[in-house]
Amino acid sequence: MLGPGSIAIIGLAALVMFGPKKLPELGKAAGKTLREFKNATKGIMDDDDNKKESEEPKK
């Protein structure tokens, strides 16, 4: 688990590596990637739920 100190060190390292002008762009790209991953995962889970419902015997 990452504590506040670890997060600060990671943030400082990113600031040194990429510079202050690139960090907002990297943050936006990371957020977009996470959103797309979440939506794709949700789509897969919805497909599984639909498949289970169609396989259940009807009463």
Q: What is the pLDDT of residue 29?
A: 93
8-44 tens-digit pLDDT = 999 899 889 989 899 889 889 999 999 999 988 887 7
Q: Which residues contact 23 (CB under 8 A, 6 or more apart)?
A: 14, 15
**Does 54 have pLDDT greater than 70?**
no
Q: What is the pLDDT of residue 43?
A: 77
Q: Domain limits of the chain?
A: 20-59
Name which of 34, 12, 35 is nearest 23 in CA terms. Answer: 12
Contact 26, 14 (CB under 8 A): yes
